[in-house]
Structure formats: C-alpha cells, structure tokens
Amino acid sequence: MRLRSRLFAPLFIALTISAWIALWMWDAGPYARYLRHASWAELPVVGAICRAVPGASLTLAALLHSAAWLLMIAAMMLPTAFPLFDTFRRMTIARDNRHALMALLIVGYATAWALFGFVAHGFDAALHRLADQSPLMLADGWLISAAIVALAGLYQFSSLKHRCLDKCRSPLMFITEHWRGRSVRRESFLLGMSHGVFCVGCCWALMLLMFAVGTGSVGWMLALGAIMAAEKNFRWGGAIGKPLGVALIAWSAWIVVQNARIG
C-alpha cells in the first residue's frame, strides 16, 4: 500500500509528460492541422474520405477536434488538478474500488472541460464563418484577437475568477463539501465534474487566448498551463492574477496600436 502511494505522484507526472510528448509529436507531424483550423479537403487520407463519403467531413472534424482538445486538457489541466486527485486518493485508499472511483473522478473532470471545449470551438467556428462572409471583418480580424486578450485581462480582476480559484486551491474542503460516501460512483463522477466546472470558471478566459493566438501552439499551451498550475498549486499563486491582468490589457492595447499604425 505504501509503495503504491509513493508511486502515485511519479505515475501522474509520467502521464502528464506523456500527454505533452504526444501533443508535441502531433504538432510536429503531418497532421498538425488537426490542432488548428484545417481545410479537411487538404489533409492526407482524410481529404479523400471527406470527398468520397457524404457527411464524413463533419464527423471527422468533430472527432479529431475532440481528441485534440482532450489531449490538450490532459497536458495543461491535469497538473493543475493534482492536489484534488491526490487528496481524493488518500481519502479512498482503503476502498476496494478506489481505482474505479479515481477513474470516475477524472472522467467527470474531463467532461466539464469537454463541454467547455464544445462551446468554445462552436463560438470560434461561428466567428470564422462570419469572417469568411464579411470582407471587412476578415480584414479587421485583429480586433477580435485584441478583444479576447482584453477580456482575459479584465477577467483576472473579477470576483467570480477569485471565488472559483479559491475552490480550486482548497481540494480537501471541496471534497468534504461534495463527498458523502453513499452512492460512491455517482458522487465520484459528480465531484470531478463539479471541480472541473470551478476550474473552467477560473481558467476559461486564459484558455480562450489559445483561440486568439492559435490552438495548435504548443509553446502557448506550455506557458498557459504553467501559469494556471502556479495559480492553483502554490501559496503565492493567488497573487498572479492582477499582474497578469495588467499585462494582458497592455498586450491588447499594443495590438490595437500596432494595427492602427498599419491601417
């Protein structure tokens, strides 16, 4: 039992590193466009299927974007939720079904982020479709990027951000609030999903930055993942929000100034 407890953190770290390696290999390979906005007809193998099978394009787009998003979440967000998983492991260590409960906790957490990804990708796709139909919007697309960066900056000062962050920074209190130990499988899933919802509430604005700079940028993912992990897992993490907000608002202003000069 003690050996398994000691192995949990190394295995968790290995899982996270594996997710980052898989993400890097995907981004460096011939199918890197799956992480970004792709024209499916241009992709090898998939393009032929899309042209031959009616409706295949939408199905493959949904599946591949979902796989890419979940891989990004595994790489970026699992490290931020490690205190929750470790605390839950210690609280359920005497149960015979502890592995199943841990799996349900992780699935619940991933479900919350998958739902957010569905909404974010839908909104992003709608913006791109609108831009394709509007030459003026396409020419001034930098305004959307500037607005997203400014929104992310302003959100760092919001009370909602800090309430959600407090929930994420107190895993033991969060578990005791949501765990009754009666219907353990259902409670494990709902616990993970509830924590995921607060995690989304804390980090959604920062995650939207990936849509402003490109969802396939592994460098940006690393930077954002490090910031969110520091916010949640270190004592000084709560102090990051306001300086980060100022930096993002300044960045947004810089985007506007630079493009105004060009225009």
Q: Which of 88, 81, 136 is nearest to 112 (CA)?
A: 81
Pair of tokens at residue 258: 């630079």
Decide if pLDDT at 180 tops 90.
Answer: no
For residue 167, what pLDDT band results from cuts at 50, 70 and 90? very high
Q: Which range marks the domain in which residue 150 is found?
A: 2-262
- Which of 68-77, 197-206, 213-222 has the largest mean confidence? 197-206
**Backbone Cα Rg of the chain:** 20
Q: What is the chain's mean pLDDT, rounded?
A: 79
Q: Count of domains in the chain?
A: 1
Q: Which of 191, 207, 28 is nearest to 120 (CA)?
A: 207
